[in-house]
Amino acid sequence: MRLFPKHLCAIAIAMSAVSASHAAPLVEPTLHLKSQAGGAGRVALTLDACGGQTDNRILSALVENKIPATIFVTGIWLKRNAAAVEIMRSHPDLFELENHGGHHVPAVDTPQKIYGIRSAGSPEAVLAEVESGAAALAKTGEPAPKWFRGATAEYSPSAIAMIRKLGFKIAGFSINGDGGSLLGAKETARRIAAAKDGDVIISHINQPTHAAGEGVVEGLLALKAKGLTFVRLDDADGIGSHGTTD
């Protein structure tokens, strides 16, 4: 469901009162797939495309090995990476593009910094970040996004409530594969290769010069060799604890 501007304003006004009265601790939601009986299990690979360029080591490996992935793209990244977007769109069986915001601004409606990134700072700014991300995807001809993941993957509780009222599901995760693309190749590969049935992995596909990208590929190929099935978020027929902190 998408809300009209007058409804967005009403939500923003209501959330302003909440955020002004109490700045609650930030939330980093988890997400799991429901376990399935039989087989080696399934995992969901989610990759953030925050800004910057495209890590073609990862993109090529996904295409060559037919590994599905959910890609969370910002409006910034979409503008700079038309060639990669075309590759993803030419493989609709592999890639699901979802909303990572218009400008990679944390969905936190009080002024603060998260990992050095200035938050949206108000309910109105959170709304603008979410809606501009969806609009940027619409311009590519992609289906309307159903999932949202904010920059830094941390949220104020009131922002989570607002995003859900806009009709989006919050994309948490259970395994931080590459530590924001700052880990080395060996540690990234170890973390990803340790994924088990039901895990949702987060890593990045926008840092082609970082060593972590090599580890992402190595870890994914290890999971494939173990016989795990990769699913996109929209293809998973059972989603467990989305948007919770368990």
Does any domain span residue 242? no
Half-sphere exposure of residue 211: CA atoms within 13 angstroms, side-chain side: 8
- Whole-structure pTM value: 0.88
Does any domain span residue 145? yes
Does any domain span residue 246? no
pLDDT exceeds 60 at position 12: no
- pLDDT tens track for 90-122: 999 999 999 999 999 999 999 999 999 999 999
> How many other CB atoms are found less than 10 A from the CB of residue 234?
15
Mean pLDDT score of the chain: 90
> What are 199's two structure tokens?
């895990």
Does any domain span residue 241? no
Q: What is the pLDDT of residue 237?
A: 57
Residue 98 bridge partners (DSSP) = 72
Quote the number of domains for the chain. 1
Measured CA to CA, the distance from residue 115 to residue 235 in angstroms comes to 32
CA angle 134, 182, 176 (to 5 degrees): 65
CATH of the domain at 37: 3.20.20.370
Does any domain span residue 243? no
pLDDT exceeds 50 at position 10: no
Query: 169 CB contacts (<8 Å, ≥6 apart)?
Result: 146, 147, 148, 239, 242, 243
Q: What is the pLDDT of residue 5?
A: 45
Helix or strand or coil: residue 132? helix
Does any domain span residue 154? yes
Half-sphere exposure of residue 15: CA atoms within 13 angstroms, side-chain side: 28
Domain that holds residue 97: 5-235
Kindly state the average pLDDT of the residues 177-189: 98
pLDDT exceeds 60 at position 22: no
Alpha-carbon distances of 229 from 62, 91, 141, 220, rounded to whole Å = 13, 18, 28, 11
- pLDDT tens track for 120-163: 999 999 999 999 999 999 999 999 999 999 999 999 999 999 99
Query: 21 CB contacts (<8 Å, ≥6 apart)?
Result: none
Does any domain span residue 50? yes
Measured CA to CA, the distance from residue 103 to residue 156 in angstroms comes to 18
Q: Which residue, among 98, 117, 94, has the nearest Cα to 107 in the 3D structure?
A: 117
Kindly state the average pLDDT of the residues 56-68: 98
Does any domain span residue 244? no
Contact 230, 43 (CB under 8 A): yes
The amino acid present at 135, given as its one-letter code, is A
The amino acid present at 34, given as its one-letter code, is K
Measured CA to CA, the distance from residue 211 to residue 146 in angstroms comes to 31
206: confidence class by pLDDT, cuts 50, 70, 90: very high
pLDDT exceeds 60 at position 241: no
